[in-house]
Chains A and B, each alone.
Chain A
Amino acid sequence: MPEREPGARLPERTTERSDRRSFLKLAAASAAGLLAAGCGWDGGRFGAVLSAWEGPNTALQRLLVTGRRSREYSEGRESGRMPQYFISPRVPTVDVASWRLAVGGSVAHPVSLSLGDLMRLPRRTIRVRHYCIEGWTAVAEWTGTPLAEIAALVRPDPRARFVEFRSFDSGYWSSWDLESALHPQTLVAYGMDGRGLPPGHGAPARLYSNRKYGYKSVKYLTDVNFLPVNTGGYYERMGYEWYAAL
Chain B
Amino acid sequence: MPRRIRFVHPLAIRLTHWLNAVLLLGLVASGLQIFNAYPSFAERGFEFCCYPFAGKDFPRWARLGGWLGGGLRWHMFFLWFFLLNGVLYLAYVFASGEWRRRFFLPRDLGNAWQMQLYYLRLRREKPEQGMYNGLQKLAYTGTIALGALSVLTGFAIWKPVSLPWLAVGLGGYELARFWHFLAVWGFLAFLLVHLFMTLVVDREATRAMIAGPYRERVDA
- Residues of A whose CB lies within 8 Å of any CB of B are 1, 3-10, 20, 24, 36, 38-43, 47, 49-51, 53-54, 57, 60-61, 64-65, 68, 70-71, 79-83, 129, 131-139, 210-211, 235, 238-241, 245-246
8 Å CB contact of A41 from B2, B35, B64, B174: B64
In the complex, the answer to whether B46 meets A80 with C-beta atoms within 8 Å is yes
- B86 close to chain A: CB less than 8 A: no
- Chain B residues within an 8 Å CB radius of A129: 160, 173
In the complex, the answer to whether B60 meets A40 with C-beta atoms within 8 Å is yes
- B40 close to chain A: CB less than 8 A: yes
Between-chain CB contacts (< 8 Å), 7 pairs: A1-B10, A1-B96, A61-B159, A133-B37, A134-B37, A135-B34, A241-B72
Bound form: Cα–Cα A65–B43 in Å: 24
- B110 close to chain A: CB less than 8 A: no
8 Å CB contact of A132 from B38, B69, B159: B38
8 Å CB contact of A135 from B35, B74, B164: B35
In the complex, the answer to whether B173 meets A131 with C-beta atoms within 8 Å is yes
- Chain B residues within an 8 Å CB radius of A60: 80
Bound form: Cα–Cα A70–B163 in Å: 10
Q: Given that A1-B8, A8-B5, A9-B4 are known contacts, is A39 also in contact with B74, CB under 8 Å in the complex? A: no
Binary flags per residue of B63-89, CB closer than 8 Å to A gives 1, else 0: 111111110111011001000000000
- Given contact pairs A136-B38, A138-B45, enumerate 7 new A-B contacts (beta carbons under 8 Å): A1-B8, A4-B8, A10-B5, A42-B65, A49-B77, A80-B44, A138-B43
Q: Given that A1-B10, A6-B4, A41-B64 are known contacts, is A136 also in contact with B73, CB under 8 Å in the complex? A: no
Q: Given that A4-B5, A133-B72 are known contacts, is A39 also in contact with B161, CB under 8 Å in the complex? A: no
Binary flags per residue of B135-164, CB closer than 8 Å to A gives 1, else 0: 000000000000000000000001111111
8 Å CB contact of A20 from B43, B45, B80, B211: B211
In the complex, the answer to whether B64 meets A65 with C-beta atoms within 8 Å is no
- Chain B residues within an 8 Å CB radius of A53: 73, 76-77
Q: Given that A81-B44, A138-B44 are known contacts, is A43 also in contact with B160, CB under 8 Å in the complex? A: no
Bound form: Cα–Cα A154–B29 in Å: 47
Contact residues of B between 110 and 150, Cβ < 8 Å to A: 131
Q: Given that A133-B68, A235-B69 are known contacts, is A68 also in contact with B162, CB under 8 Å in the complex? A: yes
In the complex, the answer to whether A36 meets B74 with C-beta atoms within 8 Å is no
- Chain A residues within an 8 Å CB radius of B62: 39
Chain A residue with the shortest CB-CB distance to B73: A50
In the complex, the answer to whether A38 meets B5 with C-beta atoms within 8 Å is no
Chain A residue with the shortest CB-CB distance to B96: A1
- Chain B residues within an 8 Å CB radius of A136: 38, 40, 42-44
In the complex, the answer to whether A137 meets B174 with C-beta atoms within 8 Å is yes
Binary flags per residue of B3-43, CB closer than 8 Å to A gives 1, else 0: 11111101000000000000000000100001101101011
In the complex, the answer to whether B173 meets A9 with C-beta atoms within 8 Å is no
Q: Given that A39-B60, A136-B44 are known contacts, is A211 also in contact with B161, CB under 8 Å in the complex? A: yes
Bound form: Cα–Cα A153–B138 in Å: 63
Bound form: Cα–Cα A68–B31 in Å: 27
Bound form: Cα–Cα A1–B212 in Å: 12
Q: Given that A210-B161, A246-B162 are known contacts, is A82 also in contact with B44, CB under 8 Å in the complex? A: yes
CB distance from A126 to the nearest CB of B (A): 12
Chain A residue with the shortest CB-CB distance to B98: A1
